[in-house]
Structure formats: C-alpha cells, structure tokens
Amino acid sequence: MTPHEAYIALNMVPNVGPVRVRALLEVFGEPQAILAACRNELMRVENIGAEVAQSIVNWRQHVDLAAELARIEKVGVQVVTREEAEYPKHLREIYDPPLALYVRGSIGEGDPHAVAIVGSRRTTLYGQEMARKLAYQLARVGVTVVSGAARGIDTCAHRGTLQAKGRTVAVLGCGVDVAYPPENKDLLAQIAAKGGAVVSEFPLGTKPDRQTFPMRNRVISGWSLGVVVVEANARSGALITASFAAEQGRQVFAVPGRADSALSKGSNHLIKDGAKLTEDVEDILSEFEYLFPKTNKTERPAEAGNGGQGTTGSLKVSEIEQKVLAAIGDEEAVMDEIIRRSGLTAACVSAALLALEMKRIVKQLPGKVFARSPGAKD
C-alpha cells in the first residue's frame, strides 16, 4: 500500500479525522504503519481511545479501498493527500487540514492568492450583485475566488468569477460526484472545465448533512487569505466560515447591509465585532498589497506577435488596459469619460482600472477621477 492509498483509507475510517491522524503520524511515521498497528500500540497514542483504536484495527470492515480507488478512476477525479506537493499551501497550515482532497478540474499551484466570498442562501438583489461584482473584480486581478457552491451568494460569487474568466474553487459539503444543490450541476461542470476546481474532503457518494457543511466551511476559510461575508442572516452558515477564518488567522471582511434587513443582521454584526467594512474590492485588496508588487518586470515584447499585450515601462498591460490608458490620456478623466472614449463596457473599464491601479500605472483621485501615475506615461 502506498502512502497515497493509506491516506485515502484513513480518511474513510470512522471517528479518526485529521487531528488524530497527525498525533498518530508523530508516533508511527507514515500512514501505512498506522493501518498496520495493533490495538495496544494505537492506544498508547494520546487521545486515541479504545473505540478509535478498534476502528483503525478493523479498518477493512469499514473501508473498501479497492472499490473506492476504482470509483476514483471511473469518475475521473484526482485525489491529493496532505503530504503531496499539489496540496493547497494555505490549507496545509490550518489546525486540522483534510487528509485527502477529491478534485474535479485543476488543483492549481496551491492558490497562493485566494479569497473566499460567502453568504446566505436567501439573498436580496443587492447581495447578489455585490457578490458577483466583488468576485469579478478579484478574478480580474488574478485572485482565486473560493466559495461553497450553495444557493444564493456562493453561486453568484462563482458565476462572477467565471464571467471574468478567472479561477474559482467550489468546496462541497458532499462527494464531488454528488451535485448539491441539484440546480448547480451545470455550474460545477463549468468550474471544473474552465480552469477551476470542484473539491471535497469526503469520499465519493457522500451525501450532505448537518455535519458535512461546517467541515466544508473550515476548508473554504483555510484555503483563503481572507473571507468576505456579503450578506448573512443571524444564523447563516457564512458566520461559521467567518469564525473559522478568525481562528485560522485569516482576515474577515463584511459587506454592510440595511439596518432593518434580517438578511444583513449577521454581516452587520461581524462589522461591529471588528470585521473590515467592505464597500468595494479596493477594501479587500488594500489588505494584501504585498501580492501586487510595485514592479512586475517582464521582457519588453517585440512590436509584433506579443499576443495583444504591450508594456508601460516594465509593466505588462492587456489590450483592454491599453485602451483604458489611451482613454485617460495625459490629463485627468472621470469614469464616464473613460467609458465613452474607450467604447468598453462599464464592467470592463472598472476591472481594467483596478488592475492598472494595482500595477501602479494609474491612480484614483477623489470623485472617481483617474490619472496616470508619475513616470507611467508612454
């Protein structure tokens, strides 16, 4: 048995879990040795009682490993275990990282720049639009958007990211072969097909229940640098995600809602408790300025054949960003003027301006006025 297979088996053994496996590894060294240990050896490990030890000794009665490996191959999913290089960097650092992640799509390169957007299933139009807009703008500057694929805010966050052609990760509270909610089956397929990932720590075929969703929420926050709660009532599961984020040392953001709306009670309460009030994407990115260095040096491309990208000094800019720069000109310009001169949509202009600000090519002045930064002119 390989370590990879042993982690999959341990992940399926009842009453074990990531924290106990970590303690067992300190004694036995490798996951295969845990499965081969006798009851008395196991019980010498701290917090491993008779019931847990017996579950491990009898693991073959609980786990059909050969059948699970066959299903994994048939469904076409990837399994990444905790000790493998592909395992997400930030998730590995939490107190109880999952033993194994089942992945449809691409696991990426650890998603070092990831932010979670979560909220209630019941939403207002305002909440939906805020989730979609924030996700779109984060994706446009290269941030991976993580959410839980639930109805409402989660769905809007995933869709906003896809609209921006960005990377989004959907963390499920069920097996990756179970479409929940059922109406998001096509959305999950799109996420997996378009460079994102549909992820679960649960074995194939696992149905969602009251326990799996809180477990899912700690993965959402652990995967991310910060968690944005867009709209949440007083009992929303998004508040559990925010609580995990705080325990894991992640930044917590909250979008304010109407004071008289029950759907905003939870998010407004987070702000009272110290979450960063978030009105636009700059409020999020300002906490992570180190992700957007002042210089992003690339070789100056040839005049032809540069894939539609040019440079401003040493900074690479996209074709859309070049149009926005041209629309700003050498003076100051308000947003409406930039939209009119460029011929682009308001959403494209907004995303391009944000990217240009992060590259320190453009600066925003009071009144939504934009100008080129000193030294950024052609």
- The CATH code of the domain that includes 137 is 3.40.50.450
Q: What is the C-alpha to C-alpha distance for residues 22 and 87, in angstroms, rounded to an integer? A: 16
Instruction: Write out pLDDT tens, residues 266-308.
Output: 999 999 999 999 999 989 988 887 665 443 433 333 333 333 4
- Domain of 319, CATH number, reads 1.10.10.10
Residue 19 is encoded by which pair of tokens?
A: 């924290």
pTM for this entry? 0.80
Inside any domain, residue 56: yes
Q: What is the C-alpha to C-alpha distance for residues 145 and 361, in angstroms, rounded to an integer? A: 25
Residue 95 is encoded by which pair of tokens?
A: 């107190």
Edge-to-edge strand ranges of the sheet holding 144-147: 78-81, 100-105, 197-200, 168-171, 144-147, 114-118, 226-229, 251-254, 276-277
Using the predicted structure, report yes or no on whether residue 45 has a pLDDT greater than 80.
yes
In a shared domain, residues 329 and 197 = no
Residue 180 is encoded by which pair of tokens?
A: 């929940």
pLDDT band at 376 (very low <50, low <70, confident <90, very high): low
Find the helix or strand (DSSP H, E) in which 252 lies: strand 251-254
Q: How many domains does the chain have?
A: 3
Residue 214's identity, in one-letter code, is P
CA 366 to chain centroid? 32
Inside any domain, residue 146: yes
Using the predicted structure, report yes or no on whether residue 18 has a pLDDT greater than 60.
yes
Inside any domain, residue 301: no
- Domain of 22, CATH number, reads 1.10.150.20
Phi, psi of 110, deg, nearest 5? 90, -5
Residue 337: partners with Cβ closer than 8 Å, 6 or more residues away: 327
Residue 263 is encoded by which pair of tokens?
A: 């759907």
60 burial type by CB count under 10 A (0-12 exposed, 13-18 middle, 19+ buried) = exposed
Instruction: Write out pLDDT tens, residues 196-234.
Output: 999 999 999 999 999 999 999 999 999 999 999 999 999
In a shared domain, residues 240 and 364 = no
Residue 81's identity, in one-letter code, is T
Q: What is the C-alpha to C-alpha distance for residues 338 and 57, in angstroms, rounded to an integer? A: 68
Per DSSP bridges, beta strands 251-254 and 226-229 are parallel
Inside any domain, residue 299: no
Q: What is the C-alpha to C-alpha distance for residues 228 and 237, in angstroms, rounded to an integer? A: 13
Instruction: Write out pLDDT tens, residues 119-169.
Output: 999 999 999 999 999 999 999 888 999 999 999 999 999 999 999 999 999
Inside any domain, residue 83: no
Inside any domain, residue 71: no
